[in-house]
Amino acid sequence: MSKNERVWFITGSSTGFGRELAEQALARGYKVAATARDTSTLADLVEEYPETARAFTLDVTRTEDISSAVSGAVEAFGTIDFLVNNAGYGLGGGIEEPSMEQIRRQYETNVFGVINVMREVLPLMRKQKSGHILNLSSVVGIISWPSTGYYASTKFALEALSEALAGEVGHLGIKVTLIEPGGFRTDFAGRSFVKPSNRISDYVSSERIDNIGDYHGAQPGDPVKGVKAIIKMVESETPPLRLPLGEDAVTAMEEKLQAVQKDIDDWREVAIDTKVDEEQGEAAGN
């Protein structure tokens, strides 16, 4: 199949990586089913690329929206080759600080939304024996810093789900990649970040949450370059399971791996010295 016959389905296409990915994919000749809660934000894309762009209403917390958007994309373009689960947002605060309503809403969007979209698209990809699922994780899908626990836990969940899925569908010709950005100049630290409903002064780390607006627009990563890296990756013969983006992400992930290895090395003997003694094992078998 030639490039200009392949179809992208992108959630959260109104801003950030989703919007930039839709623009670059269209400019490169791909077809794009762009989705957003408000499709008026995508009108200019459809106007510029009337033959290859379609806009669909999609709130990933609404299963009826998911079904309608996926079926609309297939009706318009015949298939979906690249599924990009980009829709999501951040919730800050210590473990005690957000309300349970805020926590549940975070999981409904960042985890269950992704699950429901994947489950809607996977039957199509299994039938055609091809496809590539890209799940937008984060550097905090590998490292959970203070005051990012809930957001990070949703990305940790995507890491586990994606890793399992890659093993389940690889033999069917379906690829899975986790995109793990560090700080990029999207609207994540602005509109897409929610502060906790309750504040507890004991948690000094939560000052980072109060000051996150100062980080907005000052992140080191360029979304245009980040998306170029994503497209280069999907066009390669051997795309990875994980693609960290940004020097900050790469460095932080390397430090996390070193810290994990140190814990293993420091406690190796204690960890290993937990197996059943041979004498006990023989006695239990008699």
Asked whether residue 10 falls in the same domain as residue 122, the answer is yes
Asked whether residue 10 falls in the same domain as residue 104, the answer is yes
The mean per-residue pLDDT over the stretch 239-268 comes to 96
Asked whether residue 160 falls in the same domain as residue 143, the answer is yes
Query: Where residue 81 sits, what CATH number does that domain have?
Result: 3.40.50.720
User: pLDDT value at position 206?
Assistant: 62
The mean per-residue pLDDT over the stretch 224-249 comes to 95
Q: How far apart are CA 161 and CA 171, in angstroms?
A: 17
How is 259-280 classified by DSSP, letter by letter?
HHHHHHHHTHHHHHTTSPPHHH
Asked whether residue 253 falls in the same domain as residue 139, the answer is no
Asked whether residue 100 falls in the same domain as residue 216, the answer is yes
Angle between helices 149-169 and 113-128 (to 10 degrees): 10
The mean per-residue pLDDT over the stretch 173-191 comes to 80
* pLDDT tens, residue by residue, 7-18: 999 999 998 899
Contacts of range 190-194, beta carbons closer than 8 Å, 24 or more positions apart: 190/216, 190/217, 191/15, 192/15, 192/16, 192/88, 192/89, 192/90, 193/89, 193/90, 193/91, 193/92, 194/89, 194/90, 194/91, 194/92, 194/102, 194/106
Please give the angle made by the CA atoms of 25, 123 and 232, to the nearest 5 degrees: 25
**Least confident among 80-89, 204-213, 244-253, 262-271:** 204-213
Asked whether residue 47 falls in the same domain as residue 8, the answer is yes
Catalytic residue IDs: 137, 151, 155
Asked whether residue 187 falls in the same domain as residue 276, the answer is no
Contact 26, 4 (CB under 8 A): no
Q: Which domain holds residue 266?
A: 247-286
Query: How much of the chain exceeds pLDDT 90, in percent?
Result: 78
**Least confident among 154-163, 219-228, 266-275:** 219-228
Identify the DSSP state of 11: S
Residue 46's alpha-carbon distances to 23, 42, 53, 55, 194, in angstroms, are 10, 7, 5, 7, 30
Residue 72's alpha-carbon distances to 75, 112, 123, 257, 264, in angstroms, are 5, 21, 16, 42, 50
Number of separate domains in the chain: 2
User: pLDDT value at position 197?
Assistant: 85
The mean per-residue pLDDT over the stretch 76-89 comes to 97
Q: How confident is the model at residue 194 (pLDDT cuts 50, 70, 90)?
A: confident
Q: How far apart are CA 174 and CA 131, in angstroms?
A: 5
User: pLDDT value at position 279?
Assistant: 73
Asked whether residue 264 falls in the same domain as residue 126, the answer is no
Asked whether residue 257 falls in the same domain as residue 164, the answer is no
Say yes or no to pLDDT of 142 above 80.
yes
The mean per-residue pLDDT over the stretch 201-211 comes to 71
Q: How far apart are CA 141 and CA 253, in angstroms?
A: 10
Q: What is the mean pLDDT of the chain?
A: 91
User: pLDDT value at position 149?
Assistant: 95
Asked whether residue 136 falls in the same domain as residue 269, the answer is no
Say yes or no to pLDDT of 216 above 60.
no
Asked whether residue 61 falls in the same domain as residue 190, the answer is yes
Q: How confident is the model at residue 4 (pLDDT cuts 50, 70, 90)?
A: low
Q: How confident is the model at residue 219 (pLDDT cuts 50, 70, 90)?
A: confident
User: pLDDT value at position 20?
Assistant: 95
Asked whether residue 128 falls in the same domain as residue 240, the answer is yes
The residue assigned the tokens 């005690």 is: 96
